[in-house]
């Protein structure tokens, strides 16, 4: 990264939100990953300037949220990582509509909805990601998905232009959208919820949280469900039936509590995790003829 780039960057983003050689293990729920050349926590109004600078200097850039669905290579990321952070007044409620900045944690947005007596977002309360990341991958759990409640998003395109895109134009499907394909950066989402009773909403949220604690290895670093659900199957059951419960590669392990999770037992590297995912994929395909597709996104140099 050139000094000229950093000097110009500091005219756009405050210096205390620019981090050089930043370990990505601090920014992913797997708690692995080498350093990014530069990590920035931009405000949405700064994005056009940052994108213009990257384009002018031919510096690659990557967008992340909470890093809850991300595996970053041990050699890190060459270029700039834009970590979308929530600003002030990040969640607002009007009637049955909730508006949230992309960097807001889903848990915070769901709690704001509950506090306003709005139902429909309970499924998202325990997903450890941001609103923006949840929109990009159409996150879901317990029968609910973002597409069920999403009205529109505000995005910045690769030219630095801000525009609003309706949910029906995002090609939302199972853990996918067209946002990455279009090189858009989500800065805000508008959700349509329904009137409810706060006590009942919170009871449902608590019930789902208890189910998570019972069934998922929340005490270990992970990226949640490691593989997408194959049509007609459940990834975790296929992995279990393949005899891979507890299977390890270095410090990475198929969770004994829930085989759909690959966990970092404490000293895993990104290479360990990727190798374990590859071994699981190969064995499930060998035994059952089903190809598991990663839900986890890989970024950087391995």
pLDDT tens for 86-137 read 665 699 999 999 999 999 999 999 999 999 999 999 999 989 899 999 999 9
pLDDT at residue 281 is higher than 80: yes
Q: Could you confirm whether 225 is annotated as catalytic?
A: yes
pLDDT at residue 47 is higher than 70: yes
Quote the pLDDT of residue 1. 75
Quote the pLDDT of residue 85. 75
84: left (phi over 0), alpha (psi -120 to 50) or beta: beta
Architecture of domain 217-299: Alpha-Beta Complex (3.90)
Assign 158 a pLDDT band (cuts: 50, 70, 90): confident
Quote the pLDDT of residue 112. 97
Q: What is the rounded CA–CA span in Å between residue 236 and residue 75?
A: 30
Q: Where in the chain is the domain with CATH 3.30.465.10?
A: 91-200
pLDDT at residue 286 is higher than 80: yes
Active-site position among 17, 78, 175, 245: 175
For domain 3-83, the CATH class is alpha beta
Quote the pLDDT of residue 159. 86
Task: Tell me which of 2.40.30.20, 3.30.465.10, 3.40.47.10, 3.30.70.260 is the CATH number of domain 91-200.
Answer: 3.30.465.10
Quote the pLDDT of residue 88. 58
pLDDT tens for 160-216 read 899 999 999 999 999 999 999 999 999 999 999 999 999 999 999 999 999 999 999
Quote the pLDDT of residue 247. 98
pLDDT tens for 48-79 read 999 999 999 999 999 999 999 999 999 999 99
Quote the pLDDT of residue 86. 67
Going by their DSSP bridges, the two strands 297-299 and 70-72 should be labelled as parallel
Q: Could you confirm whether 175 is annotated as catalytic?
A: yes
Quote the pLDDT of residue 105. 93
Q: Where in the chain is the domain with CATH 3.30.43.10?
A: 3-83
Active-site position among 68, 177, 222, 225: 225
pLDDT tens for 224-273 read 999 999 999 999 999 999 999 999 999 999 999 999 999 999 999 999 99
Q: Other C-beta atoms within 10 Å of 280: how many?
A: 24
């Amino acid at each position: 990264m050139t000094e000229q780039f950093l000097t110009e960057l500091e005219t756009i983003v405050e210096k205390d939100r620019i981090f050089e050689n930043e370990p990505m293990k601090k920014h992913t729920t797997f708690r692995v990953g080498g350093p990014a050349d530069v990590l920035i926590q931009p405000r949405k109004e700064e994005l056009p300037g940052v994108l213009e600078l990257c384009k002018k200097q031919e510096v690659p850039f990557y967008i992340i949220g909470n890093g809850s669905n991300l595996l970053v290579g041990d050699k890190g990321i060459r270029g700039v990582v834009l970590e979308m952070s929530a600003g002030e007044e990040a969640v607002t409620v009007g009637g049955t509509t909730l508006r949230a900045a992309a960097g807001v944690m889903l848990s915070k947005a769901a709690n704001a909805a509950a506090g306003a007596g709005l139902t429909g977002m309970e499924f998202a309360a325990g997903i450890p990601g941001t609103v923006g990341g949840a929109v990009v991958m159409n996150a879901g759990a317990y029968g609910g998905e973002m597409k069920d409640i999403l009205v529109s998003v505000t995005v910045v395109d690769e030219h630095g232009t801000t525009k609003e895109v309706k949910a029906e134009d995002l090609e939302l499907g199972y853990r996918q959208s067209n946002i990455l394909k279009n090189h858009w950066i989500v800065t805000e989402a508008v959700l349509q919820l329904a009137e409810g009773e706060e006590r009942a909403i919170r009871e449902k949220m608590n019930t789902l949280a208890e189910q998570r604690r019972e069934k998922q290895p929340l005490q270990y670093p992970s990226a949640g469900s490691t593989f997408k659900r194959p049509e007609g199957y459940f990834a975790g059951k296929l992995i279990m039936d393949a005899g891979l419960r507890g299977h390890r590669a270095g410090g990475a392990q198929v969770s004994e509590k829930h085989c759909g999770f690959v966990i970092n037992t404490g000293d895993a590297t990104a290479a360990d995790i990727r190798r374990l995912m590859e071994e699981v994929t190969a064995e499930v395909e060998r035994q059952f003829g089903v190809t598991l597709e990663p839900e986890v996104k890989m970024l950087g140099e391995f």
